[in-house]
Chain A
């Protein structure tokens, strides 16, 4: 049994209650491989079947989930793999899900990593960030290294994902934020106007002025409040996020409303 395939299948099954067909799609392995590994993992006591039924006629699909032992094995193997990847000369930090959680916006989910180049990271979804400034001054813990708060804010502001952009605005209120460091990073990562706009939405005064170069926040334009639209124009930000979503996420994750 190859470890990376076993981890990939365990990891995919740890979130949700997928059927065998759905696991095949999620993992990208062949049906034969997935079925063989599922049987092996079940045999070792790392996975168990959930009872299922069909609404109509037909054989019920098989749904398997990791057991407690399977989850413990998965967590241990994930930590080992993260440490191994960190030793291979690639810049590696824990990815958006774990990093945002570490800094106070708990997006519970499958562990992922940031890397500065494409790598085979097994079960970890990889977020490529080629700007080396992002990896400076990481937060080092017993569980591995996370991006600095300022790096994460600048990255999330330019991620193009509405949830992560809104999370950036929540993190901007964090009292541990080093404003000088953030301004420098935002400049180096090409996110100056987006960070300035989000800070204005979050009510944090960074004493920053917009530059004339327009920045696009989201892939496509979404309707926003008239005030947000005016603020985005001031900051030369195209396709801005709405103040309502920032407020919603702030309420969810502990920011001041």
Chain B
């Protein structure tokens, strides 16, 4: 069958592991930790057979730069530099001749999610010489996959559920931890309005659970109720259905327009005292 030359190839876990070991790790002279996300994490968990997206996040600028340099040494070229959130660096590297042809790298967060000791508690590190690939557990990956809201991501959530429900208490605790981090930043001076992060986090979490459908949602009732409660606590004037439609069709959501005058009171209501940053969030 004729195949377009520019198609993105699906990659199996074996492709990924072989590429990381043989190609990437020899180009790293200093220990570098890369956290696998999205389809990559699901493929490494064996939940998904292959992935078209190869996603890694880094906790420090140095680690991000070292990995980017290694990719450059392998003939990858940076094609896009996304900056939807000024606090998150997001670059796409491409090399059509490599078995892993497209790699998305982000720093210091992935879709706004922070890396904390609680998140890493059940993770496994796969060492390849100086490269340390962090493979998160299925509970953490389930939570993280609630963010993008694409049909394929909702399908990924269903695939995880097909193997059994995640630990609901852990998913709820991890969500509340992330929510709490953003809320504690509301009273700090930051370049990016932290309230946007809270709105995105809560609305996307509730929307993903809604999009899963009633049958699947019944398998994780506590998570479903928690997501709805956290969304309702925002007391927004728009319905979840409306907001879901906006989030799935717009590159950037204009929360200013959606919130109107309700911005200030919501900010005051959600703010909690600043918390001590988790040790793993410090730049290394």
B44 touches A245 (CB 8 A): no
Give the interface size class of chain B: 35 or more
Which single residue of chain B is at the shortest CB-CB distance from A13? B46
B50 touches A16 (CB 8 A): no
Q: 8 Å CB contacts to A: which residues of B1-21?
A: 1-4, 6-10, 12-14, 17
Bound together, the chains give a CA A251 to CA B244 distance in angstroms of: 26
Q: 8 Å CB contacts to B: which residues of A104-161?
A: 104, 106-110, 161
Neighbour of A22 across the interface among B46, B125, B127, B155, CB < 8 A: B46
Interface of A is mostly: loop
Q: Mark A42-85, 1 if CB is under 8 A from B, else 0.
A: 00000000111111100011010100000000000000000000
B114 on interface, CB distance cutoff 8 Å: no
Bound together, the chains give a CA A109 to CA B48 distance in angstroms of: 8
Instruction: For residue B201, give the distance in angstroms from its CB to the closest CB of chain A.
Output: 20
On chain A, the residues within 8 Å of B3 by CB distance are 104, 253-254
On chain B, the residues within 8 Å of A17 by CB distance are 13, 17, 44-46, 124, 126, 135
A50 touches B2 (CB 8 A): no
Neighbour of B125 across the interface among A54, A107, A108, CB < 8 A: A54
Residues A15 and B151 in contact in the complex (CB < 8 Å), given A251-B4, A252-B8, A254-B1 = no
Instruction: For residue B181, give the distance in angstroms from its CB to the closest CB of chain A.
Output: 18
Instruction: For residue B245, give the distance in angstroms from its CB to the closest CB of chain A.
Output: 5
A196 on interface, CB distance cutoff 8 Å: no
- Most chain B CB atoms below 10 A, which of A12, A22, A108, A255: A108
Which single residue of chain B is at the shortest CB-CB distance from A52? B124
B125 touches A53 (CB 8 A): yes
Bound together, the chains give a CA A104 to CA B13 distance in angstroms of: 21
Q: Mark B237-252, 1 if CB is under 8 A from A, else 0.
A: 0000000110011000
Interface residues of B (CB under 8 A from A): 1-4, 6-10, 12-14, 17, 43-47, 49-50, 52, 117, 120-121, 123-127, 132, 134-135, 138, 151-152, 154-155, 163-164, 211-215, 244-245, 248-249, 280
